[in-house]
Amino acid sequence: MELKARPTPPTFAKKSLIDCPRTEVDPWSKPLESSYGDGMEGLGNKTGHQCCRKQKVKRGLWSPEEDEKLIKYITIHGHGSWSSVPNLAGLERCGKSCRLRWINYLRPDLKRGSITAKEERIIVDIHRILGNRWAQIAKHLPGRTDNEVKNFWNSCIKKKLIAQGLDPNTHNLLSSNYKHNNNNNAWKLSYHSHQQPTSTFTVNSQISDISSMVMKAPPLPFPMIPLAPDTNPPLSHEFSSSLTYEYQNPKTQAFLESTASQSSIGSALIFSSTSHPSEFGMLDESCMWAGGYEPTQSIIPEKKQPEQQVEIEKISSELIGAGQQMDASFETSNFDFDFNFVESTLLPCGMYYNQSPIDQLAWDSWALQEKK
DNA sequence: AATCTATACAACCGCAGTGAA
DNA sequence: CTTCACTGCGGTTGTATAGAT
């Protein structure tokens, strides 16, 4: 069997935190040989994996030799039962460790390299709805693992949001609950927050250029972030349940209905509602908010039939062509697909966007960039 | 040059869910 | 119905490395 050659490690320099986008880490880089787990630390270790307690197992970083053994075995035999993999592959590791190594590092379909700005947007947008459900978020990022998403969130995005005065847990404004420290230009939580959420796009537009903003200027002053009109109920976790959010506008609904009747889309769930955007994910597995990114084939499951894919592309292009702007994600009985449009009148998460000339401008320039 | 500190990310831990015995 | 092994997930820790002092 032929194993994939390792790419030549690129030279890289660690960037400053502000630049955040991940450093150009060589995906195949390995620490010094001497640092690999060289003992049988798992033996008799009360805190080790259950499966490790019965046998001698190595722990710590994997050596290239171990990687090769695992790759070779799984490529030929598949993993089957993970607990039997170590023995069959000739590894002194526990099954759990093998599984983790394969899933997070050795799988051939993993995407190597830094997380892109686009992927970052997706992570932020979905996290806003789902919270720390890393595995769910990772499903929207082909080739990325939950561990990777989680690490990126903790080491990068979280800091960016805080630097903008946004609570990374709720994505709401931090206002008085976070105190800005002029010395280090950072926001620190001082007590429980209770604020208005920002619009989807507001967050995205800031994130896309946060490095320069933070570097060259103090953190964004709150007034730059559009606030909810007085006529709206308070948007917070003590949120009024009287307000109902609807995912879909009549125009798109009609369009999809007509399309569904003559295509493979079938029983598309095209309407749902909730009292708060944060509940979108809980409403129904088949309909969730996941706005903020472009229609993309990358999130379309591979199992999709070619004709379905063509259909999706057609719908996406027609919607875009019609100049609609709306964020939405649908799942039909057969498959799911996502659109990126923003129509402020439809989606409260994005409803402030049109009311802010700053955001409108940011949107336009972002959209322009994305087109290029 | 040596040491310290911060960062990124790989790996581990413990828990929950599931299914087979 | 209970037990147990297995798997998947989220939180946390460990470690190599870059940059600062």
Per-residue pLDDT tens digits for A35-73: 444 434 333 333 345 455 445 678 888 888 888 888 888
Say yes or no: A91 and A143 in one domain.
no
Nucleotides of B under 7 A from a protein CB: 6-14
Give the pLDDT confidence score for residue A156 in this predicted structure: 82
Out of A220-234, A318-332, A341-355, give the one with best mean pLDDT. A318-332
A66 membership: H or E segment, kind and range: helix A64-77
Angstrom distance (rounded) from CA A302 to CA A309: 10
Q: Residue A24: which pLDDT band, with cuts at 50, 70 and 90?
A: very low
Q: Is residue A190 a contact partner of residue A177, using CB atoms and an 8 Å limit?
A: yes
Tally of domains within chain A: 3
Q: Is residue A347 a contact partner of residue A200, using CB atoms and an 8 Å limit?
A: yes
Say yes or no: A55 and A93 in one domain.
yes
Say yes or no: A121 and A222 in one domain.
yes
* Rounded distance in angstroms from the CA atom of residue A328 to the C1' atom of nucleotide B14: 36
Q: Is residue A101 a contact partner of residue A63, using CB atoms and an 8 Å limit?
A: no
A207 — phi, psi (to 5°)? Answer: -60, -40
Q: Is the pLDDT of residue A169 over 60?
A: yes
Q: Is residue A202 a contact partner of residue A226, using CB atoms and an 8 Å limit?
A: yes
CATH of the domain at A96: 1.10.10.60
Closest residue by Cα to residue A22 from A30, A11, A31, A13: A13
A104 membership: H or E segment, kind and range: none
Task: Decide which of A72, A106, A140 is a domain's last residue.
Answer: A106
By percentage, how much of chain A surpasses pLDDT 90? 0
Give the pLDDT confidence score for residue A104 in this predicted structure: 86
Give nearest nucleotide to A23 (CA–C1'): B8
Which two tokens mark A168?
A: 């990374």
Say yes or no: A143 and A102 in one domain.
no
Angstrom distance (rounded) from CA A279 to CA A30: 42
Q: Which residue has the tokens 């690129």?
A: A10
Task: Decide which of A77, A106, A135 is a domain's last residue.
Answer: A106
Give nearest nucleotide to A36 (CA–C1'): C15
Give the pLDDT confidence score for residue A55 in this predicted structure: 55
Which two tokens mark A25?
A: 């880490």
Residue A62 lies in a domain: yes
Angstrom distance (rounded) from CA A146 to CA A128: 16
* Rounded distance in angstroms from the CA atom of residue A81 to the C1' atom of nucleotide B20: 14
Please count the other Cβ atoms lying within 10 Å of the Cβ belonging to residue A228.
17
* Rounded distance in angstroms from the CA atom of residue A61 to the C1' atom of nucleotide B3: 26
Per-residue pLDDT tens digits for A78-108: 878 888 888 888 888 888 888 888 888 888 8
Give the pLDDT confidence score for residue A71 in this predicted structure: 87
**Range of A294's domain?**
245-350
Which two tokens mark A81?
A: 């039962």
DSSP per-residue codes, A248-304: --HHHHHHHHHHHHTSTT-S-----EESSGGGHHHHBTTB----SS---GGGS-TTS
Mean pLDDT of A332-341: 31
Give the pLDDT confidence score for residue A314 in this predicted structure: 52
Residue A363 three-state SS: helix
Q: Mean pLDDT of all residues in chain A? A: 49
Q: Is the pLDDT of residue A3 over 80?
A: no
Distances (CA, A) of A16 to A10, A113, A232, A338: 18, 17, 41, 34
Give the pLDDT confidence score for residue A159 in this predicted structure: 79
Say yes or no: A184 and A279 in one domain.
no
Closest residue by Cα to residue A200 from A348, A324, A357: A348
Residue A18 lies in a domain: no
Nucleotides of C under 7 A from a protein CB: 5-12, 14-20
* Rounded distance in angstroms from the CA atom of residue A49 to the C1' atom of nucleotide C4: 15
Angstrom distance (rounded) from CA A172 to CA A227: 11
Angstrom distance (rounded) from CA A42 to CA A55: 8
Average the pLDDT over each of A53-62, A139-148, A262-271, A297-306 and give the range with the smallest value. Answer: A262-271
Mean pLDDT of A254-260: 39
CA angle A194, A196, A202 (to 5 degrees): 135
Residue A20 lies in a domain: no
Say yes or no: A301 and A272 in one domain.
yes
Residue A262 lies in a domain: yes
Give the DSSP letter of residue A219. S
Mean pLDDT of A327-335: 33
Give the pLDDT confidence score for residue A119 in this predicted structure: 83
Angstrom distance (rounded) from CA A163 to CA A220: 8
Say yes or no: A272 and A218 in one domain.
no
Mean pLDDT of A269-281: 32
Average the pLDDT over each of A49-58, A169-178, A358-367 and give the range with the smallest value. Answer: A358-367
Residues contacting nucleic strand C by the 7 Å CB criterion are A 13-16, 29, 31-32, 35, 50-51, 60-61, 80-84, 95-96, 99-100, 132-136, 146-147, 150-151, 154
Per-residue pLDDT tens digits for A211-235: 222 222 222 222 222 222 223 332 2
Residue A150 lies in a domain: yes
A321 membership: H or E segment, kind and range: helix A306-321
Say yes or no: A122 and A67 in one domain.
no
Residues contacting nucleic strand B by the 7 Å CB criterion are A 14, 17, 20, 22-23, 25, 27, 37, 42, 45, 47-49, 52, 58-62, 96-97, 100-101, 104-105, 114, 147-148, 150-152, 154-156
Residue A144 lies in a domain: yes
Q: Is the pLDDT of residue A316 over 50?
A: no
Residue type, A157: I
Per-residue pLDDT tens digits for A106-160: 888 888 778 887 788 788 878 877 788 888 888 888 888 888 888 888 888 887 7
Q: Is the pLDDT of residue A178 over 70?
A: no
Give the pLDDT confidence score for residue A56 in this predicted structure: 64
Angstrom distance (rounded) from CA A84 to CA A127: 35
Say yes or no: A220 and A321 in one domain.
no
Say yes or no: A136 and A186 in one domain.
yes
Give the pLDDT confidence score for residue A181 in this predicted structure: 45
A48 — phi, psi (to 5°)? Answer: -75, 175
Angstrom distance (rounded) from CA A79 to CA A73: 8
* Rounded distance in angstroms from the CA atom of residue A53 to the C1' atom of nucleotide B15: 18
Nearest residue by alpha-carbon distance to C1' of C13: A60
* Rounded distance in angstroms from the CA atom of residue A17 to the C1' atom of nucleotide B5: 14
Residue A119 three-state SS: helix
Which two tokens mark A20?
A: 């955040």
Nearest residue by alpha-carbon distance to C1' of C15: A35
* Rounded distance in angstroms from the CA atom of residue A134 to the C1' atom of nucleotide C4: 28
Torsion of CA A126, A127, A130, A132, to 10 degrees: 140
Angstrom distance (rounded) from CA A337 to CA A348: 21
